[in-house]
């Protein structure tokens, strides 16, 4: 969930420099790479979360290759943003690779990706919001491989210590404020929230807002709805009802929560693995994020797609590989192996039955909002995060106006 801004900037620069110099991604004047109709030798680059994911993807790939008579090699990247940027700018990129939603528009905008999604069967089974995350200029390019969402984690012991019961679990902002005030009155820090758009942005969604338009072409931050949302977060921070992880001498909300420094945090389903590994004795529950003032539910989704290189000579075989990796059964195998949630709506019931403790996360998959889907926005988004880190003493409207000004320049340049 954390990206190296330097690495991503390097990757984007490599992509844009290559196309600006005339090399581009479509050296073939016909607009299509020379295709091989025989058995493929697919090169697959992944951003692995660890040994479990590497083994699961490698095993699934080997099974597919054995059944189809193709060859396929899986390589876990050390830094996929940098490695993929360099590879796509070269002449022989990997055939198939993970593409993070936050990086997708950079690659799609310069022709690096094959828009293959219309050749995949039952594509409407993938969550609409995930499909939107991989849509550029009204075209769905690639298939989401899985998803993660944010939810509210509640420390059971600290909740009880504050005199709260299940009836006090907040379902809207007013209830969140009330519960936080009762927790603070007992000398407990109520909430830890990450200090970037990847957490605070959820409040904008809950009030019907977002940083940019749905097509990613216009900044839309400076609106009353977004100002109200940032103002609400600022109020939590100013009144001691929420703190950023660094104020708690921790690196992220999950660490503050695991160390029982806070009664609540807002994190994604990756927190489950961290809690099990590092804080196994902490009892907690997971609930959907509280809705905004008008009752709108909102969370953020984090996803990657199976990208296929525009320069691949094995596009047909690569599409068949992606289809095999994204069946409901295969997605459930991946979910069991390394904790991701399926991107197929048809797998939701099966996932919830197997992992009932993740019900809040999987519920959010239906309405989660993806990242800003626009190219050349790295520096603008980095500046936004810096502004959000100073939100306690800043002015919400000024933060939103600055973003719009910067984004307008980036999107129009």
Residue range 188-221, pLDDT digits in tens: 999 999 999 999 999 999 999 999 999 999 999 9
Which pLDDT score is estimated for 8? 42
From residue 285, alpha-carbon distances to 142, 162, 170, 277, 328 in Å are 34, 16, 13, 17, 27
Which pLDDT score is estimated for 9? 40
Which one has a higher pLDDT value, 1 or 119? 119
Residue 328 and residue 347 in contact, taking contact as beta carbons nearer than 8 Å: yes
Fold category of 149-300+376-412 in CATH: D-Maltodextrin-Binding Protein; domain 2 (3.40.190)
- Asked if the domains at 5-15+24-148+302-364 and 149-300+376-412 fall in one CATH topology, the answer is yes
Buried b (16+ CB within 10 A) or exposed e, 82-95: bbbbbbbbeeebbb
**Residue 50, by phi and psi: left (phi above 0), alpha (psi -120 to 50) or beta?**
left
Residue 17 and residue 88 in contact, taking contact as beta carbons nearer than 8 Å: no
Structurally, at CATH architecture level, domain 5-15+24-148+302-364 sits in: 3-Layer(aba) Sandwich (3.40)
31-74 pLDDT tens trace: 456 787 779 999 999 999 999 999 999 999 999 999 999 999 99
257-304 pLDDT tens trace: 999 999 999 999 999 999 999 999 999 999 999 999 999 999 999 999
C-alpha span between 193 and 391 (Å, rounded): 12
Q: What is the DSSP letter of 370?
A: -
Nearest to 1 by CA among 105, 108, 149: 149
318-344 pLDDT tens trace: 999 999 999 999 999 999 999 999 999
25-34, 241-250, 346-355: range with lowest mean pLDDT: 25-34
CB within 8 Å of 385: residues ≥ 6 apart: 195, 196, 197
C-alpha span between 232 and 262 (Å, rounded): 19
Which pLDDT score is estimated for 413? 54
Listed in sequence order, the DSSP H helices in 196-294 are 197-206, 224-238, 253-258, 271-278
Q: At residue 405, does pLDDT exceed 70?
A: yes
Average pLDDT, the chain: 92
CB within 8 Å of 274: residues ≥ 6 apart: 254, 255, 258
0.75 exceeded by pTM: yes
Which pLDDT score is estimated for 36? 73
Grouping H, G, I as helix, E, B as strand and the rest as coil, residue 20 is: helix
**Bridge-based pairing state of the strands 301-308 and 143-155:** antiparallel
Which one has a higher pLDDT value, 19 or 355? 355
Give CA torsion, residues 8, 132, 365, 325, to 10 deg: -70
Domain ranges of the chain: 5-15+24-148+302-364, 149-300+376-412
């Amino acid at each position: 969930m954390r990206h190296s801004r330097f690495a991503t900037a390097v990757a984007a620069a490599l992509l844009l420099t290559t196309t600006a110099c005339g090399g581009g991604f479509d050296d073939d004047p016909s607009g299509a790479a020379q295709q091989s109709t025989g058995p493929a030798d697919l090169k697959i680059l992944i951003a692995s979360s660890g040994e479990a994911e590497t083994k699961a993807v490698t095993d699934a790939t080997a099974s597919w290759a054995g059944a189809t008579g193709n060859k396929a090699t899986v390589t876990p990247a050390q830094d996929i943003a940098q490695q993929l940027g360099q590879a796509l700018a070269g002449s022989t990129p990997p055939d198939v690779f993970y593409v993070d939603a936050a990086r997708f528009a950079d690659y799609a905008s310069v022709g690096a990706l094959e828009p293959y999604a219309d050749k995949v069967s039952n594509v409407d089974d993938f969550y609409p919001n995930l499909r939107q995350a991989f849509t550029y200029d009204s075209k769905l390019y690639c298939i989401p491989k899985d998803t993660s969402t944010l939810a509210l984690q509640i420390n059971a012991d600290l909740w009880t210590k504050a005199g709260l019961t299940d009836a006090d679990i907040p379902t809207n902002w007013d209830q969140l404020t009330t519960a936080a005030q009762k927790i603070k009155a007992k000398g407990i820090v109520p909430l830890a929230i990450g200090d970037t758009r990847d957490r605070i942005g959820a409040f904008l969604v809950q009030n019907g807002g977002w940083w940019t338009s749905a097509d990613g072409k216009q900044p839309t931050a400076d609106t009353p709805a977004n100002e109200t949302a940032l103002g609400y977060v600022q109020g939590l921070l100013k009144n001691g009802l929420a703190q950023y992880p660094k104020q708690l001498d921790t690196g992220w909300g999950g660490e503050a929560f695991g160390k029982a420094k806070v009664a609540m945090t807002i994190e994604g389903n990756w927190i489950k693995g961290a809690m099990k590994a590092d804080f196994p004795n902490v009892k907690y529950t997971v609930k959907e994020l509280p809705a905004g003032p008008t009752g709108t539910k909102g969370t953020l989704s984090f996803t990657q797609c199976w990208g296929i290189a525009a320069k691949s000579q094995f596009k047909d075989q690569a599409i068949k590989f992606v289809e095999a990796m994204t069946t409901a059964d295969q997605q459930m195998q991946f979910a069991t192996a390394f904790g991701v949630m399926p991107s197929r709506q048809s797998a939701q019931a099966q996932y919830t039955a197997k992992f009932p403790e993740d019900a809040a996360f999987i519920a959010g998959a239906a309405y989660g909002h993806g990242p800003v889907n626009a190219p050349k926005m790295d520096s603008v988004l980095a500046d936004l995060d810096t502004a959000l880190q100073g939100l306690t003493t800043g002015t919400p409207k000024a933060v939103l106006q600055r973003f719009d000004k910067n984004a307008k320049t980036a999107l129009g340049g």
